[in-house]
């Protein structure tokens, strides 16, 4: 038999139901802050990714074009400095050897791909006599110097004093064999066979995929030569 005292002293049974437990915001099944956070932090959509890829591609294209143009302009400057230095070397050679020095400019096609004939190279020669027909006998102490592949002399008499001058045919062997050329001589005192009425001008330009420019482009380099002293200035 159950004791009445125990029945009165024993606390009533505490029934815990699911609805009576406080619900944590983090555990809310639907519409909770945690679930909304997951929705907000999901990855990019395909459209967004394609947009980013397109922007990156555009920026890369612009950067590559800018770098390519800068490198081409640098090649133009390098060719100008080399030509200017070689003009000075020709003057010093004539003075040292006390003999006339010939400076030839050759018309050649591109070295690595098909293209138009243009003034693409030059060479310094030392005159050591004349043959029976009155032609100069010239020794070449240096190799033919080519401009960079995309650099040529401007084919316009206004910017290239050799344009329209008598063209000779090279009879020597080597890379310039049978190449058309124009030339002038430098004497030991610095005087030249260039026309004395005006300074000679040599203008270097870049050959592009469109060909050799017919008019003076924005990016060019010029060398002005004093015909009486063979001193040169660069622009």
Using 50, 70 and 90 to split pLDDT, how confident is the model at 5? very low
pLDDT, one tens digit per residue, over 76-87 is 999 999 999 999
Domain limits of the chain? 60-234
Average pLDDT over residues 11-29: 49
The CATH architecture of the domain made up of 60-234 is 3-Layer(bab) Sandwich (3.55)
Say how many residues make up the chain: 235
Average pLDDT over residues 26-34: 50
pLDDT, one tens digit per residue, over 145-189 is 999 999 999 999 999 999 989 999 876 666 777 899 999 999 999
Using 50, 70 and 90 to split pLDDT, how confident is the model at 57? low
Mean pLDDT of the chain: 82
Round to whole Å and give the CA distance between 190 and 231: 8
Write the CB contacts of 188 (distance below 8 Å, at least 6 apart in sequence): 94, 95, 97, 98, 99, 100
Q: How many CB atoms are closer than 10 A to CB 207?
A: 20
Q: How many CB atoms are closer than 10 A to CB 100?
A: 20
pTM exceeds 0.85, yes or no: no
Q: What is the pLDDT of residue 194?
A: 96
Q: What tokens appear for 164 in the block?
A: 């329209």
């Amino acid at each position: 038999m159950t004791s009445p005292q125990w029945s009165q002293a024993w606390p009533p049974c505490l029934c815990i139901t699911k609805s009576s437990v406080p619900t944590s915001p983090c555990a809310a099944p639907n519409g909770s802050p945690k679930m909304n956070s997951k929705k907000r932090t999901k990855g990019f959509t395909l459209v967004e990714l394609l947009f980013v890829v397109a922007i990156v591609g555009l920026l890369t294209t612009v950067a590559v074009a800018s770098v390519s143009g800068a490198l081409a302009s640098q090649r133009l400057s390098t060719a100008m400095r080399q030509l200017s230095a070689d003009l000075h070397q020709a003057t010093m050679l004539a003075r040292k050897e006390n003999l006339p020095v010939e400076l030839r400019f050759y018309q050649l096609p591109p070295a690595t791909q098909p293209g138009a004939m243009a003034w693409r190279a030059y060479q310094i020669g030392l005159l050591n006599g004349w043959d029976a027909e009155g032609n100069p006998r010239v020794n070449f102490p240096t190799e033919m110097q080519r401009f960079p592949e995309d650099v040529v002399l401007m084919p316009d008499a206004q910017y290239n004093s050799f344009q329209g001058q008598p063209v000779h045919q090279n009879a020597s062997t080597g890379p310039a064999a049978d190449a058309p050329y124009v030339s002038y001589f430098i004497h030991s005192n610095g005087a030249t066979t260039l026309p004395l009425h005006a300074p000679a001008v040599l203008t270097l330009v870049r050959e592009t995929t469109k060909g050799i420019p017919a008019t003076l482009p924005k990016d060019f380099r010029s060398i002005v030569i004093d015909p009486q002293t063979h001193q040169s200035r660069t622009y």
